[in-house]
Structure 1
Amino acid sequence: MTVNQIQVHVENIKCGGCEKSIVKGLESMDGVSNIVIDREQQLISVTADESLREPLIAKLKSMGYPEHGSVAGIEAGLTNAKSFVSCAIGRMS
């Protein structure tokens, strides 16, 4: 196991509600810790084994925060809509 700092540039982080949802979602993943979100840079950094990079990216996408440049067209619209839901949930929790 090689534990590294993994950084992922994502889309759709708009507010503290988004950040709360992302942290909550990533905390549910075994082996992910030290979650840091830079809203201005749209950058998420975590400490995790490199083998978790793809599952991490998939988890973020499922919550509406796809890796920057990875979605387009209708799929981009759908992930944007998911991010609004995640954001609202984050603001309420």
Structure 2
Amino acid sequence: MKTIIEIQNLKCGGCEKTITDNLSKIAGVSDVVVDHETSTVNLEYVSEDSLRKVIEKLSKLGYPVTGEKNDIGKKATSYVSCMIGKITS
């Protein structure tokens, strides 16, 4: 199944790389495309469990889905994730 997920705190290509790298490692998830201009993640998944893992991973990386609580801890985590993406690109 294909889905588009709207997320928060997505700023740049570093964020995109971190998200793409991490979500691509989740079993049952493929074709991950992240767009910081629209704050969206497009992907294919095989089960609801895979999608749940994607949403949990996004939150842990500091990119909660739109509508989820976005406290200062998540915002700070997203900056760290962003820097890691920039360094590893």
CA separation in 1, counterparts of 2:47 and 2:72? Answer: 29
Aligned residues: 87
Query: Which residue of 7, 19, 25 corresponds with 1:10?
Result: 7
1:33 deviation in Å?
0.7
Q: TM-score, normalised by structure 2?
A: 0.91
CA separation in 2, counterparts of 1:29 and 1:54? Answer: 11
1:65 deviation in Å?
0.4
Match of 1:88 in 2: 83
Q: Which runs of 5+ in 2 are unaligned?
A: none
CA separation in 1, counterparts of 2:13 and 2:36? Answer: 9
1:31 deviation in Å?
1.2
Q: Once superposed, which parts of structure 1, at least 4 consecutive aligned residues long, lie more than 4 Å away?
A: none
CA separation in 1, counterparts of 2:51 and 2:44? Answer: 10
Query: Which residue of 39, 60, 70 corresponds with 1:42?
Result: 39
Q: Which runs of 5+ in 1 are unaligned?
A: none
CA separation in 2, counterparts of 1:30 and 1:50? Answer: 10
Contact 1:6 1:53 in 2 (8 A): no
